[in-house]
Amino acid sequence: MSQFLFLDIGQLESRLHHDGGLMLVHFGSPLVSSCGFTQRSLALIAPEFSGQMQFCTIDVPLQEVQNLRQYSIRVVPTLVLFDCAREVERLDRILLPAELRLFLRDVVGYYGVPQPAPRNEDPGLSS
C-alpha cells in the first residue's frame, strides 16, 4: 500500500471517500524544485509505511486558483494527511527525509490502526 498514486486534483475527493484510512497527499508542481525534493524524500521513506498509509501526489496547476482554495494550498509543496477523507495534519514547509520520517511515524502512531504488541517469546520464561 506504500505505492504512489498520481492523481489530478479532480480525482482526489472520490479517492479519499473510496479508500478510507490514512492518505498523505503531496500537493506540488513540476515547476518548483522543492516539490521534486519532497517527492524524492517521500519515495525514499514510503516503503517503511507499507500497509499503514497510502501516498498520493497531485501536480497542482498553479494558475487554477479555485483548486488551490479548495484545499487551502498557499505554497507548494504542501503535504496534507487525510484520515478517511478528513484533513488531520498539514505541512507547508520542506523537511529533510529524516524529519519527514519522524513526522510520519508520529502521525501513524497517533492516527493509525493500533498494531498488536510484539509477543515475548523468550524460551527462558516459563509460566
CATH code of residue 89: 3.40.30.10
Residue 54 lies in a domain: yes
Model confidence at 1, pLDDT cuts 50, 70, 90, reads very low
pLDDT value at residue 115: 52
Specify which residues 122 forms β-bridges with: none
Output the nine-digit C-alpha cell for 109: 502512531
pLDDT tens for each residue of 11-39: 888 888 887 789 999 999 999 999 999 99
Q: DSSP code of 115?
A: P
Residue 116 lies in a domain: no
Residue 125 lies in a domain: no
Question: Which domain, by its residues, includes 76?
Answer: 4-111
| Cα–Cα distance measured from residue 41 to residue 45, given in angstroms and rounded to the nearest whole number | 7
Residue 122 lies in a domain: no
Look at the chain and report how many structural domains it folds into.
1
